[in-house]
Structure 1
Amino acid sequence: MRYDVRVSASTSENKKPRAETESLALDTDLGWAIRMVSTAFRRVATDSVADLPGGARGYLVLVALAGGSEPPSQLALAREVSLDRTVMTYLLDDLEAHDLVTRKPDPRDRRARQVLITDTGRARLTEVRHSLAAAEARLLTDLGPKDTEQLRTLLARVAQTAQREVVAPDEAAC
């Protein structure tokens, strides 16, 4: 037995299936969620990094340097934190003036300079990380420890994909 089901144009335009309208809800939109979290994080984190030269950018540079095993070149560091190399030069000048980083010639390439975090930079980074942790805790207050860890892990993976998407076109041009 065969049934012929017809839906009039006016019915389908006025009454969308429930699943379709729910998927269009703002709170299920990835772009909206990323924007809201980014805006809120920027607001709560700004005070934590405000005293660092370069603010959030300076913080990212210190984190990258503190976590690395071998000192990166300025260019490699700029790529790692997704900063223009000219911006990186000015930022490093400022961080170096505050004794947070130091630069030395790269023994493998005399034209390049390696960037190292100083003891003062490590101490300052520790202070900022404590302040930033408190700000993050306020933002993540509705998540338990497991959810918080899972969110960090998933965001790190998405960030790595995003960084490849941003860096890859520049790499291909070289």
Structure 2
Amino acid sequence: MATASVAGLPGGARGYLVLVALAQGEPPSQLALAKEVSLDRTVMTYVLDDLEARDLVLRRPDPRDRRARQVVLTEAGRARLGEVRRSLASAEARLLADLTDGDAEQLRALLSRVAQTAQRELVAPDEMKC
């Protein structure tokens, strides 16, 4: 269900993560964005190329560092992100239909904790190399 919701986005789930990260605030550099969503720099370049070709993001020179590029969510990207979020919410509602509201909330909280642990595990091996 969730896979179908993001299937139309360039990069699928990776493209969705990029759009979500960009919607959260100041335009990050391409490198900072790659780190934030835990994507290899090369993979990030391909995902951004595809998103930019669909006018969902824009890369522009960073005014603070001419060597870096900022990644900006376009209005079309913001609109597409809204559509995908609504589709994901609908898929989640169908998936959790047999749970009480309390059970669904507890499941979300537990899954969030598991995701945080997984994220730390992704970061920890890199820190151990130092």
Taking structure 1 as the reference length, the TM-score comes to 0.68
CA–CA separation in structure 2 for the residues paired with 1:111 and 1:170: 25
Q: Which residue identity does 1:104 align to in structure 2? A: R
Name the counterpart of 1:146.
102
Larger radius of gyration: 1
Cα distance, 1:109–1:160 mapped onto 2, change above 3 Å: farther
Matched, 1:118 2:85: no
Name the counterpart of 2:112.
156
Unaligned runs of 5+ in 1: 1-43
Tell me the CA shift for residue 73 of structure 1. 1.6
CA–CA separation in structure 2 for the residues paired with 1:80 and 1:62: 12
Matched, 1:129 2:85: yes
1:60 to 17, 23, 30: 17
Compare 96-105 and 135-144 and name the one that shifted more: 135-144
Tell me the CA shift for residue 89 of structure 1. 0.5
CA–CA separation in structure 1 for the residues paired with 2:95 and 2:87: 13
Structure 1 residues 12-161: aligned runs within 5 Å: 44-66=1-23, 68-161=24-117
CA–CA separation in structure 2 for the residues paired with 1:121 and 1:155: 27
Taking structure 2 as the reference length, the TM-score comes to 0.88
**Could you say which structure has the greater relative contact order, defined with CA pairs below 8 angstroms and 6 or more residues apart?**
2
Q: Aligned with 1:71: secondary structure?
A: coil
Q: Which residue identity does 2:111 align to in structure 1? A: L
Compare 149-158 and 76-85 and name the one that shifted more: 149-158
Name the counterpart of 1:3.
none
CA–CA separation in structure 1 for the residues paired with 2:53 and 2:103: 40
CA–CA separation in structure 2 for the residues paired with 1:163 and 1:134: 26
Matched, 1:168 2:124: yes
